[in-house]
Amino acid sequence: MFAEMFTQLGDMPEPVSNAEINDRQRALFSKFDNGDLLILCASPETIHSNDVHHPYRTQSNLLYLSGWTEPDAVMCSLNINGKWETHLFVQPKDTLKEIWEGRRPGVEGAVENWPVDYAHSVDELQAKLADFIAQSSKIMHRMGIMPEVDELVVKAIKKRDRARQRYGTGPISIEDPSNLIAEMRLIKSDSEIAQMKFASDVSSLAHIAAMKHGGGNNAKENQLQSLIEGFFRYAGTSGWSYPSIVGSGENATILHYKQNEDYCKDGDVVLIDAGAEFRGYAADITRSWPNNGQFTDAQKEIYQIVLDAQIAAIDECVVGNPYNAPHEAARKVLAEGLIKLGVITQSLEDSLDMTDGQLKDWYMHNTSHWIGLDVHDVGVYLPNGEPRLLESGMCLTIEPGLYFGAWRPDVECPEKYANIGIRIEDDILVTKDGPVVLTDMCPKTIAEIESIVGSDK
Ligand SMILES: [Mn+2]
């Protein structure tokens, strides 16, 4: 089955080029002062059990500005005699370690094939970094990722008075460069979009595979999950970009459900929120479908409201709109729909109120988040307290939903809609020609879904 699906995928895009990463570095350095020292640290490895590690995924800012994906790495950049130099500290070649853990590019490989000026063994980090720090007047560093680097930085700042007095040099402050980098990451290049489109296509096909396998055959949530995540790897992505949510029946009404071990029963709606990660870039898709292949009338009513809300929100993803315009559009359509069904008994205006409005009983989350190297990508939503205006190249999810958890003690769930949970989520690229749905390979109309669910029987 995977082999047939694979033929529907386009070619894998070229990776983001070293030249593009060099351009990113230059764009960032242009915002710095000459005495600034940039330090970017790899995330630490984390333990699964005893001596087994979780699959490694590095810190996104380091990935964005170096392309380096291995652990135990630090990138430093500073301006020496009017020219910015970039140094990458990496795990050195080590035959014994490589026999056990895998091949390493090493120092030579790093400087040859990655967009950096110099590479060093991470064993030299302490000495070299101390030297860089001494030459700097401000350290651009995010604390809390690599404790040994934090320690060096703090030590250097502590003794700054002495060094400044004696030599007239040494850093005087630490600043977190994350916001500067986030501003750059908010706008995706064509090459980044190509990576995200591939992640989106793989994810779409994986959702279709789950739909086909569903259809009243007593599938379990974990079986649908395995099809989805199996195809993520089959298609050459690194796997999921966030743990898959596969919830049937009342589990579909739990926003971040993660057990994924129940049976999908006849008459249930199955909600699947799953996306692949490709070369660090995320996809994030949610689809909700009837396990027996046919929506009930009640399910159809709710589904169509959510779909209408989603389409209205996507239409708002245009250059110049505030980032929350899609959310407001979705909320309005959801509320209008629930008023028509008699679920909401307030006026439209009252129902949207964040304190007393009835909509938040059934729709309690936001409609969008940025998406990119992080599934919940970086970028301030309210710079200077004002909603950010959408620009060409920004990517965001659109994911309205309605959740009628009959198990909830805090609300009285309308019986007709008991345990219906619907969320529909796509990833949108804002362009000057309007919104582009990156996840458009994944079907979402009622007719399409009913024709696909259970079709591999
Ligand atoms: Mn999402």
Q: Roughly how many angstroms between the first and final C-alpha of the chain, as a whole number?
A: 12
Q: Quote the ligand 1 centre to 397 CA distance (angstroms).
A: 6
Angle CA(149)–CA(155)–CA(158) in degrees, nearest 5? 145
Q: For residue range 337-348, what is the model confidence (pLDDT) as tens digits? A: 999 999 999 999
Domain boundaries, the chain: 17-183, 189-452
Q: Quote the ligand 1 centre to 300 CA distance (angstroms).
A: 23
Q: Are 424 and 307 in contact (CB under 8 A)?
A: yes
The edge-to-edge listing of strands for the beta sheet with 36-41 is 118-121, 83-90, 74-80, 36-41, 138-141, 173-175
Q: Quote the ligand 1 centre to 425 CA distance (angstroms).
A: 7
Catalytic choice (369, 374, 377, 427): 369
Beta bridge partners of 83: 80
Q: Are 309 and 283 in contact (CB under 8 A)?
A: no
Gap between the Cα atoms of 106 and 93, Å rounded: 5
Rounded mean pLDDT of 303-310? 98
Average pLDDT, rounded, for the chain: 95
Catalytic choice (256, 261, 266, 353): 256
pTM of the model: 0.96
| Short-list 114, 33, 124, 144, CA closest to 78 | 33
Gap between the Cα atoms of 227 and 202, Å rounded: 12
Q: Quote the ligand 1 centre to 444 CA distance (angstroms).
A: 16
Q: For residue range 265-280, what is the model confidence (pLDDT) as tens digits? A: 999 999 999 999 999 9
Q: Which residues fall within 8 angstroms of residue 354, CB to CB, at 6 or more apart?
A: 360
pLDDT band at 161 (very low <50, low <70, confident <90, very high): low
Catalytic choice (117, 233, 308, 365): 365
Beta bridge partners of 289: 270
pLDDT band at 152 (very low <50, low <70, confident <90, very high): confident
pLDDT band at 173 (very low <50, low <70, confident <90, very high): confident
Q: Quote the ligand 1 centre to 73 CA distance (angstroms).
A: 30
Catalytic choice (4, 11, 51, 386): 51
In the CATH scheme, what is the homologous superfamily, with its name and number, of domain 17-183? Creatinase/prolidase N-terminal domain (3.40.350.10)
Q: Quote the ligand 1 centre to 90 CA distance (angstroms).
A: 33
Q: Which pLDDT score, from 0 to 100, does residue 170 have?
A: 60
Q: Is 422 helix (H, G, I), strand (E, B) or coil?
A: strand
Q: Which pLDDT score, from 0 to 100, does residue 165 have?
A: 58
Going 412 to 416 to 421 to 426, the CA torsion angle's sign is negative
Q: For residue range 68-108, what is the model confidence (pLDDT) as tens digits? A: 999 999 999 999 888 999 999 999 999 999 999 899 999 99
Q: Which two tokens stand for residue 399?
A: 């994911």
Three-state SS string across 70-84, please?
Answer: CCCCEEEEEEECCEE
Q: Which pLDDT score, from 0 to 100, does residue 164 have?
A: 60
Catalytic choice (273, 374, 377, 426): 273
Q: Which two tokens stand for residue 283?
A: 């996809």
387-412 burial, b if ≥16 CB within 10 A, otherwise e?
ebebeebbbbbbbbbbbbbbeeeeee
Q: Quote the ligand 1 centre to 369 CA distance (angstroms).
A: 7
Q: Tell me if residue 51 is catalytic.
A: yes
Q: Are 137 and 163 in contact (CB under 8 A)?
A: no
Q: Tell me if residue 425 is catalytic.
A: yes
Rounded mean pLDDT of 133-162? 86
Q: Is 426 helix (H, G, I), strand (E, B) or coil?
A: strand
Catalytic choice (250, 284, 374, 377): 284
Catalytic choice (399, 417, 426, 427): 399
Q: Which pLDDT score, from 0 to 100, does residue 292 have?
A: 92
Q: For residue range 226-246, what is the model confidence (pLDDT) as tens digits? A: 999 999 999 999 999 999 999
Q: Quote the ligand 1 centre to 276 CA distance (angstroms).
A: 12
Q: Quote the ligand 1 centre to 437 CA distance (angstroms).
A: 14
Q: Tell me if residue 53 is catalytic.
A: no
Rounded mean pLDDT of 29-38? 94
**For residue 347, is it left (φ>0), alpha (ψ between -120 and 50) or beta?**
beta
**pLDDT(415) > 60:** yes
Q: Tell me if residue 268 is catalytic.
A: no
**pLDDT(216) > 80:** no
CATH architecture of the region 189-452: Alpha-Beta Complex (3.90)
Q: How many CA atoms does the CB half-sphere of 86 hold within 13 Å?
A: 23
Q: Quote the ligand 1 centre to 87 CA distance (angstroms).
A: 35
**pLDDT(293) > 60:** yes
**pLDDT(150) > 80:** yes
Rounded mean pLDDT of 167-185? 85
Beta strands in 281-341 (DSSP E): 281-282, 285-290
**pLDDT(167) > 60:** no
pLDDT band at 162 (very low <50, low <70, confident <90, very high): low
Higher pLDDT, 328 or 82: 328
Q: Tell me if residue 365 is catalytic.
A: yes
Q: Quote the ligand 1 centre to 128 CA distance (angstroms).
A: 41
Q: Tell me if residue 148 is catalytic.
A: no
Catalytic choice (403, 417, 426, 427): 403
